[in-house]
Amino acid sequence: MKLIRLSLIGLIAITLAACATKPPEPVVDFSPDYQFGQTKTFGLYALSGEVSGNNPNNLTDFQRDRIDDALKSALQQKGFTFVTKT
């Protein structure tokens, strides 16, 4: 009986510890007046995947490449052209 009660208390403690108080707020910088309908090309920021702010998680080169490749593929399927330099 003690083992069940101790296990239940431990499970509740772990569950409560795993709950975040609120999700992190994204920081975005854009012009609300920009007309995206005219855009036909795109590029990726050279330092994409780098840590910014107080985020302790680093992406590996493998993860960064997979994300970049997925973005390129999805945007090219929608008719956009990837450019390496402007």
pLDDT in tens, 25-77: 888 888 889 888 888 999 888 776 666 666 667 778 898 889 889 999 999 99
∠57-30-76 over CA atoms, to 5°? 75
CA distance 72 to 86: 16
What confidence category does residue 16 fall into, taking pLDDT thresholds of 50, 70 and 90?
confident
Q: Which pair of structure tokens corresponds to residue 30? A: 């854009």
pTM: 0.54
